[in-house]
Amino acid sequence: LAVLNSARGDSLARQSHPLAITMAVRSDRADVAPHREALESAFPQATAKLAIFLHGLAETEESWRIHADRQDPSGSTYGSRLAGDFGYTPVYVRYNSGLHISENGRLLSPLLEQVVANWPVPADDLILVGHSMGGLVARSACHYARQDGDSWPTKVRHVFYLGTPHLGAGLEQGVSRLTGALGKIDEARPLARFLDRRSAGIKDLRAGHLLDDHWQPDSASASGSRDRPSEVPLLASAAHYAVSATVTTHRRNPIGRLLGDLLVQPASARGKARDGGGVPFPIENKRHFGGLHHFNLLNHPLVYGALHDWLDV
């Protein structure tokens, strides 16, 4: 279902198709309404500290459990460790990753506003943990929350981006260029049209677009901006951390710089543009891991060690 929505989720949503994923808090493999009674039932041990988990493209909240049993017989995850070590209640969100990132950002902000307002105990400390696209959705939600005057961002203390393509994902950039080239050849245009049917969410990964203005055809800022990363400030009241990985041991290995974690290159995950711009993560808030691939970042002891170190201050 997650893969289907990543590829065609925008079309499914437009058709109100029953297979279209609707954004929701999840618990025990079921949606949880953001109402007081439902939240009390789903989170009987709720604390004032919430860790909001946002999965990536073609994933669900279950993706955070990858290799959980290998690490610990009880099935250790970031959520369970944050609960045990720091008292955070893990809250998992599922969303349709085929929608535009900005659409999911606009949906996430009011959802978190309701969750915080109706949480069983007064919530005073939020952290956001985003894997891949999930980090972009978090940034988009923070932007629209500030714009709309929502209150939940004032409670966000830390935001963690795990393999997030802040400057775009190389694979989508390659497919985009290939589609454009094929479209100029008469015999190849059917293939170009087929490739161009990939979802809006996937196309947004070309440059990590976060706002409606970057894709709406009638927007003045959309013209010529398809290949430029979004210039959206990070939430000023929170600390932000970037985790990158390469399949090679060393980040500066030419193969590692090219392939990254197989889906995201380290420079993009660290927000470092060639012209010196990009996302201004402090050097102490960046951590790189060699010998890991993109999906290792969902649940790996080394990555959790970085989260622990940043929170344990």
Q: What is the pLDDT of residue 151?
A: 97
Cβ neighbour number for residue 283 with a 10 Å cutoff: 6
Q: What is the CA radius of gyration of the chain?
A: 19
**What is the predicted pLDDT for the residue at 81?**
97
Percent of the chain with pLDDT over 90: 77
Find the mean pLDDT for residues 116-130.
Answer: 98
**Tell me, what's the pLDDT at 220?**
47
Burial profile 76-100: b = 16 or more Cβ within 10 angstroms, e = fewer = bbbbbbbbeebebbbbbbbbbbbbb
Tokens read off for 112: 């978190």
**Predicted structure pTM score:** 0.93
N-to-C CA span, the chain: 40
Summarised one tens digit per residue, pLDDT across range 206-265 is: 989 999 998 887 654 444 455 666 679 999 999 999 999 999 998 889 999 889 999 999
Quick one: 240 exposed, middle or buried, by C-beta within 10 A (0-12, 13-18, 19+)?
Answer: buried
Which pLDDT value is given to residue 252? Answer: 83
Rounded distance between C-alpha atoms, residue 188 and residue 173, angstroms: 19
What integer best gives the mean pLDDT of the chain? 91
The Cα–Cα gap between 93 and 95 comes to 7
pLDDT at 57: 96
* Averaged pLDDT for residues 129-156: 98
Q: Is 74 exposed, middle or buried (0-12, 13-18, 19+ CB in 10 A)?
A: exposed
Q: Check: CB of residue 272 under 8 Å from CB of residue 278.
A: yes
pLDDT digits (tens, 9 = 90+) for 285-309: 999 999 999 999 999 999 999 999 9
Nearest CA to 310 among 290, 287, 278?
A: 287
pLDDT per residue over 168-206, tens digit each? 987 777 776 766 776 777 777 776 576 677 999 999 999
Neighbours of 291 (CB within 10 A): 13
Do 161 and 241 form a contact (C-beta atoms < 8 A)?
Answer: yes
